[in-house]
Amino acid sequence: MNTETPTAVLLNPQVVVEPGDYRALYDEHSSVRDAFDDASGVLGFDLAGAFLDDDPALINSGTVVRPASLAIATAIYGMTVARGRPPTYLAGLSLGAIVAGHLSGHMSFRDAVRMTHLMPAIEDRVFAGKGLGVAFYYGVDIAAFEDAMRREVAAGRVLSPCAYTAADQMILTGELGALRAMNVRAVACGGVGVVIPHGPPAHSPLPVLHEVEERFRGEWRYRDPAGDPDIPVICNLTSRVLATGDELTDSFIRQYSRTVHWERGVRRLAELGVRKVTVIGPGHFVLKSLRSTPAEFEVEAFLGAGDLPDPAVGRARS
């Protein structure tokens, strides 16, 4: 009988990347370079060259930053968690759910790269010229903030919840003017709001997200065998434990037009007995959100070059 305490790995959403943020990670770790090389082979262009460019708009374009984030997370996981006992559960927020799908054993790295590229490619076609984005609000009284959002919607604004990320945090999708109006309302609700640079609309029942969902459903096909996960994944929509390949595929598609309930999933991990979580980069979003989550965990984080073993030490010992 296995009496070991359950553990979980948490994976970040798409985050804003500044030029040079991950240069040291790429330069110092061959596993990272190998993952980028493999991804470039799938995509047919130099992913590292684009991701390590000096142009923030290029770096943060979805067709670059999402497969790059997958490559980084896969390499970091391989250098850390994969060298010990496998986690009991995986959980990912937004893009992190796709990464979890790969790390769980459900789909190949090649298909995960293809998925993280196809999704934003479709989004770019559908969202062009619509003036939509996302904004993050923290420190807010959620009930009061939701009431303020409903008043904006009643006044004709295009707004919808995108993700509930902690007890006092949420993300909204909507027209940029409405998001800025909610930034002002956030102050009255005790918090702060900020429009996320380069952030695409996401996780919302708005018609434009339904259109993207249906296009992705129609275009996506696995090229490699996709099976049941070796490690169960906590659904970032419902907090259910996903243990079959069909459930995972359905969750990837449906998260376009449904609000993410990340905090609910984190609390579900605590209910399942998880006491230790490992956060994998890139990005600090999940780690910071844990500070506003009622569940208490022992937390370790591997977010970038500074958190990883010195590769020179490993070479010296070998």
The CATH number covering residue 84 comes to 3.40.366.10
Among 195, 220, 242, the domain boundary falls at 195
Q: What is the pLDDT of residue 275?
A: 96
> Do 90 and 60 reside in the same domain of the chain?
yes
Q: Which amino acid is at 278?
A: T
> Do 266 and 309 reside in the same domain of the chain?
yes
| Other beta carbons less than 10 A from residue 177's beta carbon | 12
> Do 181 and 215 reside in the same domain of the chain?
no
Among 141, 164, 195, the domain boundary falls at 195
Q: What is the pLDDT of residue 286?
A: 98
> Do 308 and 244 reside in the same domain of the chain?
yes
Range 17-42 burial, b when 16+ CB lie within 10 A, else e: beeebbeebbeebebbbebbebbbeb
> Do 21 and 42 reside in the same domain of the chain?
yes
Q: What is the pLDDT of residue 310?
A: 78
Q: Tokens in use for 240?
A: 């259910």
With a CB cutoff of 8 Å and minimum separation 6, the contacts of 93 are 10, 11, 12, 13, 163, 165, 236, 260, 262, 285, 286
> Do 267 and 312 reside in the same domain of the chain?
yes
CATH number at residue 162: 3.30.70.250
Is there a domain that residue 202 lies in? no
Is there a domain that residue 2 lies in? no
> Do 108 and 240 reside in the same domain of the chain?
yes
> Do 86 and 148 reside in the same domain of the chain?
no
| Other beta carbons less than 10 A from residue 84's beta carbon | 9
> Do 58 and 98 reside in the same domain of the chain?
yes
* Structural domains in the chain (count): 2
Is there a domain that residue 274 lies in? yes
User: 15, 283 in Cβ contact below 8 A?
Assistant: yes
Burial of 5 (C-beta count, 10 Å sphere; 0-12/13-18/19+): exposed
Is there a domain that residue 311 lies in? yes
Distance CA 1, CA 107 (A): 29
> Do 215 and 277 reside in the same domain of the chain?
yes
pTM of the model: 0.95
Residues of the chain with pLDDT under 50: 1-2, 313-318
Domain extent, residue 163, equals 132-195
Is there a domain that residue 200 lies in? no
> Do 211 and 119 reside in the same domain of the chain?
yes
Is there a domain that residue 1 lies in? no
> Do 137 and 116 reside in the same domain of the chain?
no
